[in-house]
Amino acid sequence: MQFNMRRTVLLLSLVLLAAPLAAQDWAGRGRALGKVVDEQGNPVEGAKVILHLPGLPEAGPEPLLTDKKGRWSYLGLDNGAWAVVIEKEGFITSEGSFSVNEFGTARPLKIELQRNPFDAVAAGQELIDEGRYEEARQKFLEVLPEMDGHQQAQLHALIGNTHYAENAYAKAREEYQLALPGLTAGERTSVLLRLGDSYMQESQFDKAREAYESTVDQLGPEGRSQVLLAIARSYDQEGRRDEAIAAVERILEGNPNDIQALQLIADLLSRQGREEEAQAYLDRVPEGAELPADMLLNQGIRFYNDQKLDEALANFERVIRQDSSLADAYYYRGLVYLNRGENEPAIADFKKLLELAPDSQYASDAKQFLEYLESE
């Protein structure tokens, strides 16, 4: 979340005697001088001092920079009213006015700059991008008391993100909980999702699902699918495959062609030994869509062990189309060909296995099959 607000305050400065001024002629014998300090009275070095005629930003001398003591001065201004702008990174820009009397003694202007907390927030966000999380937190904490309730909530969320990036999930959750009451509905959803992620990282699956479920009705179709997939995977990691399957079915009710959901439900069903149901879902995945190679391979092995050779062959061929470097797929496809009496393609696959993975756990078996097949 970004802070885009910027504030400008009007400096009520010392006003001297005013006199008419020709807009086209700003040079004269008058002098202006002053000192720029921060809210604690410390001098501000390097502040940019811009003098110009009121309403005519181009009419005036070149900008000045304050010295180490925060002082500045200029000789050569015409009589009358002048505008002054003070700019310094990290501070709110100050704008005000004063008068010049060419025939009088110039009275110094003391200008106090107020710190701009939003610059600190922007600097903190840059530090996050650079991976300097502790420094970012310090920036946020410095300006936290100066923010309103909503802005404080946003900062707590940002601080939580820095802890999350450092794998300090419990600290991240503390900040997220502080943030949630003050956030908008959309912001709350984002933080709840990250809260769920933090629980997942620590295998606290029940709490992760509780956080995820609270966001489902607030998300669009794609976001909803991703959250339900996360819920399904959390059940799967607990070995609760029926509940995992039910979570994926919630996705398919709204989007029957969701590729990730079709892949996951096929994998879940396959690992329950329900190969035919799993294959029915795999058949709905477009041919050009990639499926997890290990899932396809394991599905094919189950078909092979059940002597469903056509289904096994289809899976192994799809694996090889997706990843031609996966040696085990050639071994198992070779076994299918061997069982079907198709010796030439079997020989080619066993040789391919040995070429890709000469130290494979299947290398010894492949060599024996080759000796047998090539001796015929």
Is 70 contained in some domain?
yes
Band (pLDDT 50/70/90 cuts) for residue 85 is: very high
Task: Look up the domain containing 43 and give its range.
Answer: 8-115
* Span 87-130, pLDDT tens digits: 998 888 999 999 999 888 888 999 999 887 788 898 899 999 99
Mean pLDDT on 252-270: 91
Domain stop point among 61, 91, 115: 115
Structurally, how many domains does the chain consist of? 2
Is 215 contained in some domain?
no
Is 301 contained in some domain?
yes
Band (pLDDT 50/70/90 cuts) for residue 237 is: very high
CATH number at residue 296: 1.25.40.10
Is 207 contained in some domain?
no
User: In the structure encoding, which two tokens stand for residue 331, read together?
Assistant: 């071994």
Band (pLDDT 50/70/90 cuts) for residue 376 is: low
Domain stop point among 115, 149, 182: 115
Is 357 contained in some domain?
yes
Buried b (16+ CB within 10 A) or exposed e, 297-326: bbbbbbbbeeebeebbbbbbebbbeeeeeb
Q: What percentage of the chain carries pLDDT values higher than 90?
A: 71
Distance in angstroms (rounded) separating the CA atoms of residues 229 and 214: 15
Distance in angstroms (rounded) separating the CA atoms of residues 7 and 13: 18
CATH number at residue 23: 2.60.40.1120
* Span 27-72, pLDDT tens digits: 999 999 999 998 889 999 999 999 999 989 889 999 999 999 999 9
Is 14 contained in some domain?
yes
- pLDDT of residue 14 exceeding 70, the answer is no
Is 157 contained in some domain?
no
Average pLDDT, the chain: 89
Predicted pLDDT at 81: 93
* 3-class SS letters over the chain: CCCCCCCEEEECCCCCCCCCCCCCCCEEEEEEEEEEECCCCCECCCCEEEEEECCECCCCCCCEECCCCCEEEEEEECCEEEEEEEECCCECEEEEEEEECCCCCCCCEEEECCECHHHHHHHHHHHHHCCCHHHHHHHHHHHHHHCCHHHHHHHHHHHHHHHHHCCCHHHHHHHHHHHHHHCCHHHHHHHHHHHHHHHHHCCCHHHHHHHHHCCHHHCCHHHHHHHHHHHHHHHHHCCCHHHHHHHHHHHHHHCCCCHHHHHHHHHHHHHCCCHHHHHHHHCCCCCCCCCCHHHHHHHHHHHHHCCCHHHHHHHHHHHHHHCCCCHHHHHHHHHHHHHCCCHHHHHHHHHHHHHHCCCCCCHHHHHHHHHHHHHC
Predicted pLDDT at 120: 84
- pLDDT of residue 4 exceeding 50, the answer is no
Closest CA to 330 of 373, 289, 364, 297: 297
Mean pLDDT on 212-231: 95
Band (pLDDT 50/70/90 cuts) for residue 364 is: very high
* Span 289-326, pLDDT tens digits: 777 788 789 889 988 998 999 999 998 998 999 889 99
Predicted pLDDT at 267: 86
CA 365 to mean position of chain CA atoms: 49
Is 45 contained in some domain?
yes
Domain stop point among 80, 115, 150: 115
Strand-pair partners of 314: none
What pTM did the predictor assign? Answer: 0.61
* Span 151-179, pLDDT tens digits: 999 999 999 999 999 999 999 999 999 99
Predicted pLDDT at 296: 83
* Span 134-146, pLDDT tens digits: 999 999 998 899 8
